[in-house]
Structure 1
Amino acid sequence: MFLRRQLLIASALALTSNARAQSDPWAELRTGAAIVLLRHAIAPGTGDPANFAVSDCSTQRNLSAQGIAQAGRIGTLFRKNGVAQAQVFSSQWCRCIDTAKGLGLGPVEPQPLLNSFFGSPEDGRPQTQALRAWMTGLPPGRPVVLVTHQVNITGLTSIVPANGELLFVTAGAADPLTVIGRVAVE
């Protein structure tokens, strides 16, 4: 009897877990149950120049013409999937701000926790932990898009995303961050 009960419980948990894994990430986003982590659109190169200043776009890697067009295509993809407006947060880097604005989903709010730590990897762990805590505190019920960098997304998910790739994640306070979907936009 005890073994049978354990098997029933295990089966129910497996079905629940499997249903979540097969859920529509766009539907989860529309209800605010998932958050999109978006790596900025195409910006040729790696890292930033030695004279980098966050307040001066001329000192940074910026979106190419392809990147600008890619950001627009990503915004179109959101709208085709029923997300016409979202709460959009972005790294303060110009390539992220420009990607976020190019989505056309609403006002863009700079969020320093989304800033790259590529040049200072020692900041990665504490910044990632602070970002994770901030994400769990976001108010539910509204689509949220976070535009950031490869190192930040990899720090949160262990996934190395392509430029313009979306990762749909759930971020409950008591649960580990879970990737429930990925979409790459060329």
Structure 2
Amino acid sequence: MACYIVPAPAHAADEAALWQSLRSGEAFAILRHELAPGTGDPDNFQIGDCSTQRNLNDTGKKRARATGDRFRANGIASAEVYSSQWCRCRETAQLLELGEVNDLPALNSFYENDQDAAPRTGQLQEWLSARDPGKPLVLVTHQVNIRALTGQPASSGQILVIRLPTDDRIEVLGKL
């Protein structure tokens, strides 16, 4: 079970420090996919078949591109990018244009399968704790995954900055 450290709200100076921690690789960014109208997924949902899933709308696509621009404006032109296998997450990650998008099943949603929450979050924590600080890291996932990992909600496209290494606790440095 993770231990959470909850930050105070970020101010402009704090935001600069958050971007610096991402540039240095001392922290990583985890963000919720951009706007995809509705909740859950259709009954015929299949990974890899976007026609069976909720997908980004035009606003979500524009916002994902703008988020990528925000990373670049803050000195992060490339990063290691990992995504849930859901099309809305993969598309968000691709539209950031920060690097090749790699599937990470530990980021897959468990919205409709609560029994998967603890094992999947544990897999993600293991994966994170094995990482060394270094190159910027961006993860794109779902609200339920972010809440399970951090104890905090995330709106569409919201970025949480988390200190590396995670070891046995998750320290959220702030939100962007």
**Identical amino acids, percent of aligned pairs:** 47
Structure with larger Rg? 1
Match of 1:117 among 102, 110, 121: 110
Cα-Cα RMSD: 1.4
Q: Which runs of 5+ in 1 are unaligned?
A: 1-20
Match of 1:29 among 15, 22, 29: 22
Q: In terms of mean alpha carbon deviation, does 131-140 or 121-130 score higher? A: 131-140
Q: Kindly indicate whether structure 1 or structure 2 has the higher relative contact order, using CA contacts under 8 Å at least 6 residues apart.
A: 2
Give the Cα–Cα distance (whole angstroms) in 2 for the partners of residues 63 and 23 of structure 1.
29
Q: Which runs of 5+ in 2 are unaligned?
A: 1-13
User: Which structure shows the bigger proportion of residues in helix conformation?
Assistant: 1
Moved over 6 A (4+): none
Give the Cα–Cα distance (whole angstroms) in 2 for the partners of residues 69 and 152 of structure 1.
23
Compared CA separation, residues 159 and 32, structure 1 to 2 (3 A): same
Displacement of 1:166 in angstroms is: 0.1
Matched AA of 1:38: L
Per the alignment, residue 75 of structure 1 pairs with 68
Matched, 1:94 2:87: yes
Matched AA of 1:142: K
Describe the superposition over 1:130-156 as per-residue Cα deviations: whole angstroms up to 9, x where unpaired. 101101112321000000000000000
Compared CA separation, residues 81 and 110, structure 1 to 2 (3 A): same
TM-score, with length taken from structure 1: 0.84
Matched, 1:136 2:140: no
Aligned pairs for 1:19-58 within 5 A: 24-58=17-51
